[in-house]
Amino acid sequence: MSRIGVFICHCGENISRTVDVERVAQEVGRLPGVAFSTDYKYMCSDPGQTLVKKAIQEQKLSHVVVAACSPRMHEKTFRKAVEAAGLNPFLCEMANIREHCSWVHENREEATVKAIDIVGMMVERVKKNRILPTITVPVTKRALVIGGGIAGIQAALDIADCGHEVILVEREPSIGGHMAQLSETFPTLDCSQCIMTPKMVDVANHPKIKLYTYSEIELVEGYIGNFQVTIKKKARSVDEDKCTGCGVCMTKCPQKKIPNKFDQNIGMRTAIYVPFPQAVPNTPVIDRDNCTWFKTGKCGVCQKVCGPGAIDFEQQDTLIVEAVGAIVVSTGFDLYTIAEKPKGSPIKGYGEFGHGKIPDVIDGMTFERLASASGPTGGKILRPSDGKEPKQIVFIQCVGSRAREKGISYCSKVCCMYTAKHTMLYHHKVHDGQAYVFFMDARTPGKSYDEFWRRSIEEEEAVYIRGMVSRLYQKGDKIVVMGSDISVGVQVEIEADMVVLATAIQPQKGADALAQKLGISYDKYHFYSEAHAKLRPVECATAGIYLAGACQGPKDIPETVSQASAAAAKVMALFSRNQMEREPIVARVREAGCVGCFACKKVCAYGAVEEKEIRDRQGNLIKVVAYVNPGVCAGCGTCQATCPSKSVELDGYTDEQIIAMIEAL
């Protein structure tokens, strides 16, 4: 007979406000098998845990049910406490009476009845729980970092500096990401290239970092400590080992008018190219869509001029498999291109702003390239249409962001600050120019941020107009901006030479597809979800995968760098052990019942099911049965629901346990 202890938590007032915890403790105390039941204000606190441990020893409890918050929150905490008191941790279950009960119901009677049901269900379940031994698995002390922007670079450097091997995968031909595109950075106005490129060189030179650029993640298999990742290295058409990066090929390439994505398509590049001169690695890529050789089979100038003979038109995409123990995802962001309305997306475009139709209506990143010393204009602010210097410039904030009716309700976080920076850069470069900013609010939380914003108004003469723009149109070579100034209640019309839109930050295209490969969750905008918004902000719910940077949500550079270092610290903590414990929630085959149909093998996504021969003492084959490799099994239980003879069981979720729960209702 079991001696179950039930511990009901008040969670301060979070549970006791709507659930009559004393009554729950009383009613549950009457259930068969329950030997002890009590309530306490904070069960997860030190005295609360001590209460559990003491009760286990004094009352000789065989099983424990803690009725408190979600098991996703504190299951580990209480299992540890139970283990410390000498019980197997898997004899402890949590009944979720906070997230699933007290927080979602107002009626005290209904909530109390529901809480009694939930606890009763878990009491019946825990009776059927078995002692499960912890499984230890080896840890591969190599990390994979996906995305080579500032987040990925920081995480890779931190992990590598700790002595562990890092594989850094970047989709573009060079690492650097969006930070490499920026001109100067707020709030110190130091040049982005000057602080970014040394880090990029550090990555290239680090003996512990293996860099795959122009590469993408094809497949991710395995689990924490033991991932196998297949990386697709796209054909560069240039042999990286032979190329010296002299750049002669680029000067001789006859295709010179291809818009450069790095320069937001206002600068031009050749068909064989590096995205920018400071690229790492400094090995060019042939853009096969625009290369004369690949289009017509003639030309081959680059091959003729290349001294080391590095050009290889025959190169193919290659697949590389790497074994890693942890993964940092740092795929960053993309700007909401309001010119093209995304297909099938709930997001509505901003036709009224003429982006994509009026050439001098540009986005913030394009302004960065115009202001950058290494940009297509050499750092001069010039209009894309006619190359003239704009004397009146209008900045519009919150384009896409905080616009529920347009499909995005979140704040992109960095635009207030970078627009303030843009007005300063403009004022520094065009002394007789005037900058206007249409804004909703200025959001400047951050060290020295508000001072920076004030400076743009007080010292750099930017005119801030609180209100939104309703319409833009071209009139001669001017753009007429019509908006309202709500602080004085008048309509404003400005004849501008150039308009800069602070468009919303969105996750990279394909963020959802990568999440599906990794098995991590994402929100409706495709930002990746962290395991806990406050307490586990850099970890995914999937063990062994960590997040850094804007792929999780809009972030500025200091925040991104902090999160990247935090993710690296998590990886290093994992790598500090040779072996790690994993939950013993794995499937097991009851060989006596197995008929060897291997339906389980067909549905197992992990290839954990193997064939095992059963022989008698003489060595005669009796039958072939299924065997689940516990190291590979991820514990989804699909095999169990599929097995026609019910001969495979998932520990922790056996039919017995589930049926007991249903019968309790």
Partner 1 sequence: MHPENQKHDFEPKIIAFVCTWCTYAGADLAGTSRMQYPANVRVLKFPCTGRIDPVFILKAFQQGADGVLVSGCHPGDCHYIAGNYHARRRFAAFRKLLEFIGVDLGRLAFSWVSAAEGGKWVEVVTDLTEKVRAMGPMVEFKALALEEQWSGAIDTPELQEAYDAI
Closest CA to 199 of 230, 161, 162: 161
User: CA distances (Å), 161 to each of 165, 202, 206, 209, 461, in order?
Assistant: 9, 11, 9, 9, 45
Q: Are the beta carbons of 25 and 53 closer than 8 angstroms? A: no
CA distance 504 to 345: 15
What phi-psi label fits residue 489: left (phi over 0), alpha (psi between -120 and 50 degrees) or beta?
A: left
Closest separation between CB of residue 275 and partner 1, Å? 32
**Which range touches partner 1 (CB under 8 A), out of 286-294, 326-334, 381-389, 655-663?**
655-663
Q: Could you tell me the end-to-end alpha-carbon distance of the chain, in angstroms, rounded to an integer?
A: 21
Residue 624 has which token pair?
């072939």
Q: Which of 86, 95, 75, 89 is nearest to 9 (CA)?
A: 95
Q: Does 132 bind partner 1 (CB under 8 A)?
A: no
What's at 347, amino acid-wise? Answer: I
CA–CA gap between residue 87 and residue 597 (Å, rounded): 38
Stretch that binds partner 1, among 68-76, 191-199, 335-343, 410-418 (CB under 8 A): 68-76
Length of the chain: 665
Q: Does 381 engage in binding with partner 1 (CB under 8 A)?
A: no
Give the range of 114-122, 148-156, 183-191, 318-326 binding partner 1 by CB under 8 A: 114-122
Q: Is 42 in the site for partner 1 (CB under 8 A)?
A: no
For residue 527, the minimal CB distance to partner 1 (Å) is 9
| Position 455 contacts partner 1 (CB under 8 A) | no
Interface with partner 1, residue 547, by CB under 8 A: no
- Which amino acid makes up residue 212? Y
- Tell me the DSSP string of 278-318: T-SS---EE-TTT-HHHHHS---HHHHH-TT--B-TT---E
> Residue 96 or residue 140: which is nearer to partner 1 going by CB?
96
- Given 605, 616, 618, 621, the residue binding partner 1 (CB under 8 A): 605
Minimum distance from residue 509 beta carbon to partner 1 (Å): 16
> Which residue in the set 541, 569, 614, 624 belongs to the binding site for partner 1 (CB under 8 A)?
541
Cβ closest to partner 1, residue 73 vs residue 266 = 73
Q: For partner 1, which stretch binds (CB under 8 A), given 129-137, 315-323, 425-433, 652-660? A: 652-660
Q: Per CB under 8 A, which region of 39-47, 93-101, 188-196, 210-218 contacts partner 1? A: 93-101
Q: Minimal CA–CA distance to 6: which of 80, 94, 77?
A: 94
Contacts of 312 (CB under 8 A, 6+ apart): 237, 238, 239
Measured in whole angstroms, the distance separating CA 133 from the mean position of its chain's CA atoms is 33
CB of 222 to partner 1, least distance (A): 11
Phi, psi of 93, rounded to the nearest 5 degrees = -125, 155
Interface residue with partner 1 among 90, 449, 452, 522 (CB under 8 A) is 522
298 binds partner 1 (CB under 8 A): no
User: In the complex, what is the shortest distance from the CB of residue 485 to partner 1, in angstroms, rounded to a whole number?
Assistant: 36
- Of 5, 148, 251, 157, whose CA–CA distance to 565 is shortest? 157
Q: Are the beta carbons of 244 and 305 closer than 8 angstroms?
A: no
Determine if 123 is a binding residue for partner 1 (CB under 8 A). Answer: no
Only one of the segments 95-103, 270-278, 381-389, 501-509 lies at the binding site for partner 1 (rule: CB under 8 A); that segment is 95-103
Measured from the CB of residue 53, what is the shortest distance to partner 1 in angstroms? Answer: 25
Q: Does 630 bind partner 1 (CB under 8 A)?
A: no
Determine the interface stretch with partner 1 among 30-38, 477-485, 517-525, 615-623 (rule: CB under 8 A): 517-525
Contact 580, 574 (CB under 8 A): yes
Cα dihedral value 272, 276, 279, 283, nearest 10: 10
Output 533 or 621, the one with its CB closest to partner 1: 533
103 binds partner 1 (CB under 8 A): yes
- What DSSP state is assigned to residue 647? -
The answer to whether residues 369 and 266 touch, using CB atoms and an 8 Å cutoff, is: yes
**Least distance in Å: CB of 102 to partner 1?**
8
Of 426, 588, 415, 598, nearest to 497 by C-alpha is 426
Using CB under 8 A, count the residues that bind partner 1. 51
Residue 661 CB, shortest distance to partner 1, in Å, is 6
Of 216 and 360, CB closest to partner 1: 216
Decide if 315 contacts 237 (C-beta within 8 A).
Answer: yes
Asked if 663 interacts with partner 1 (CB under 8 A), we say yes
Nearer to partner 1 by C-beta: 268 or 599?
Answer: 599
Site for partner 1 in 560-589 (CB under 8 A): 585
Closer residue to partner 1, CB minimum distance, 46 or 106:
106
Least separation, in Å, of the C-beta of 537 and partner 1?
A: 14
645 lies in the binding site for partner 1 (CB under 8 A): no
Indicate whether 135 belongs to the interface with partner 1 (CB under 8 A). Answer: no
Round the CA-based radius of gyration of the chain to a whole number and report it.
Answer: 30
Non-local CB neighbours of 93 within 8 Å, separated by 6+ positions: 63, 64, 65, 66, 71, 122, 125, 126, 129
Q: Does 521 interact with partner 1 (rule: CB under 8 A)?
A: yes
- Among the listed residues 17, 23, 41, 72, the single contact to partner 1 using CB under 8 A: 72
Task: Select the residue interacting with partner 1 from 34, 44, 111, 180 (CB under 8 A).
Answer: 111
Amino acid at residue number 35: A
Question: Does residue 218 touch partner 1 according to CB under 8 A?
Answer: no
From 317-325, 357-365, 419-427, 637-645, span contacting partner 1 (CB under 8 A): 637-645
Closest separation in Å from C-beta 194 to partner 1: 38
Give residues in contact with partner 1 (CB under 8 A): 70-72, 96, 98-101, 103-107, 110-111, 113-114, 117-118, 121, 515-516, 519, 521-524, 529, 541-542, 585, 603, 605-606, 634-638, 640-642, 650, 653, 655, 658-659, 661-663, 665
